[in-house]
Amino acid sequence: MKKPSPRESHAGSLRRYLVLMLLIPLGYLMQVCVVTYFPIGGVTPNLLFANIGIITVAYGRVQALWAGLIYGLLLEILLPSVPFVSLAVYPIASLFVSFIFADKSLRQLQMDRALKRKSHYMAAWLRTVLCAMVNVLVFEIVNVAYIYLGGTALTITHFRRALQDVVLTGLLTLLVEFPVRRLIFGKREVVPVLKNQPIRFGKK
């Protein structure tokens, strides 16, 4: 297997962070300018949390936190609804949910190997979808709780819309994650694997 040269590795890292710098603002613009105008059953899926799910799995916890913080600030300043909910929930949910779905660091992997812990990893595409859905679930729980504490009587419609938002965001994430991950990581190289004959040990 050919190892990438330092120049190729640097170019790959630069491309990933350029894509990240474009992905965050583009996700916000698409949410407020496009997705908002195509509700399904009166509910608009959350492209912002879909983006956060992709960033969590593709980049890691720190980048997920920054994406959540930027989205929370933009929503609080430009599209205020419930005071401080977006500003608080987006970064906090992004950070804590990322502990579940982000890749482990090299140090954690080495520790698991030293302690002989078994690591069970889900596929990256599945972790991305679940990460987005859990983020939306946290947001909807806070939102419903805020409505209840505000004195509004909760009905089955509130819970139906919250569940619908979770499901629709998961489907939207599944739709957009593959082209976005292809843009982040580039084309996968197919490496041929040589199959050797099984080694047999004979008795001397």
- pLDDT > 70? residue 196: no
* pLDDT of amino acid 118: 67
Do 61 and 102 meet the contact criterion of CB atoms below 8 Å apart?
Answer: yes
Burial class (CB in 10 A: 0-12, 13-18, 19+), 188: exposed
Tell me the average pLDDT across 20-42.
Answer: 94
* pLDDT of amino acid 116: 67
* pLDDT of amino acid 105: 63
Q: Which domains does the chain have, with CATH numbers?
A: 6-106+116-185 (1.10.1760.20)
pLDDT, tens digit, 9 for 90 and up, residues 79-89: 877 788 899 99
- pLDDT > 80? residue 93: yes
CA 123 – CA 112 distance, rounded (Å):
19
Tell me the average pLDDT across 13-25.
Answer: 92
